[in-house]
Amino acid sequence: MSDEGGETIAEARRLETGTSRAVVVFFALACVGLAVDLWSKHVAFDPHFVPGPRQPIAGGWATFELTTSFNEGALFGVGQGWTWLFALLSLVAVAGVFFWMFRLGGRSSAWLTVALGLILAGTLGNLFDRAGCHGEVYPEGLVRAGQVRYAVRDFLLFTFGQPETPIGQRYHYPVFNFADVFLVTGAIMLVLKSFQAEEDDEPEEAVQERQAATSDESAGPGGLTTPASNPGTTPPDPLGSPPEEPAS
């Protein structure tokens, strides 16, 4: 086998090892992110949990506090009452993440692997809530009292404004959760990736085709490996060549 063929196979094996590690990172990010989101929601919505006082940030120009809110829409409260639609879109997003990761060669890029892992974590975290798996129900006094609440649990609240401005007049950023953080972070990473130059990363199908081509080149007729030529050995004459006449 030539040196060029050996280098090609070594490079293909290196890419294969890299993609295997990317899969581990992808699922690890998704699982850890999902666990953090669900655990934080469980703690914040525990009836016995008492949140601390509002905390000033950046000299009072921003504040942070823990509160509890149910969102039956999407990010920023858009589309209230359309929980079932956003649940279906979440399923589509999960399928899209896996398709991008494993069919479109997303795992060949470390940046895309992290972005898709974060998006999967956030999507599953909010899908868990939209499916009503949290077990929360509407309180007494409401029309749907006792019914399962198919809504996303939010609890992180930031406000912005001048320190002397009363809290009611400050800008209240929409209440969110860690799943939203993972989703937005992954989406921003994808946007930044779109502005980057094309990398030399190859899709998995291209790597497999190159491996197959290399194997075919290194094998002779019938699948036998063609031996390398030896400089000290004179190759046999081609078939049909006339024999050399002895010198007179």
> 76 CB contacts (<8 Å, ≥6 apart)?
174
Evaluate whether residue 234 is within a structural domain: no
Q: Domain range spanning residue 172?
A: 3-207
Active site residues: 154, 180
Residue 232 lies in a domain: no
Token output for 53: 């006082």
Residue 26 lies in a domain: yes
- Number of domains the chain contains: 1
Question: Of 151, 153, 152, 169, whose CA–CA distance to 161 is shortest?
Answer: 169
CA–CA separation, 113 vs 54, rounded Å?
Answer: 36
- pLDDT, residue 79, reads 81
Question: Residue 134, SS3?
Answer: coil
- pLDDT score of 221: 52
Distances (CA, A) of 177 to 39, 138, 230: 11, 20, 69
pLDDT per position in the chain (248 positions), as tens? 455 555 566 555 565 666 789 999 999 999 999 999 999 999 999 999 988 889 999 999 999 999 999 999 887 777 888 889 999 999 999 999 999 999 998 999 999 999 999 999 999 999 999 999 999 999 998 888 889 999 999 999 999 999 999 988 999 999 999 999 999 999 999 999 998 865 544 555 555 565 555 555 555 555 554 444 455 555 555 555 555 555 54
Task: Determine the angle formed by the axes of helices 110-130 and 178-194, rounding to 10 degrees.
Answer: 150
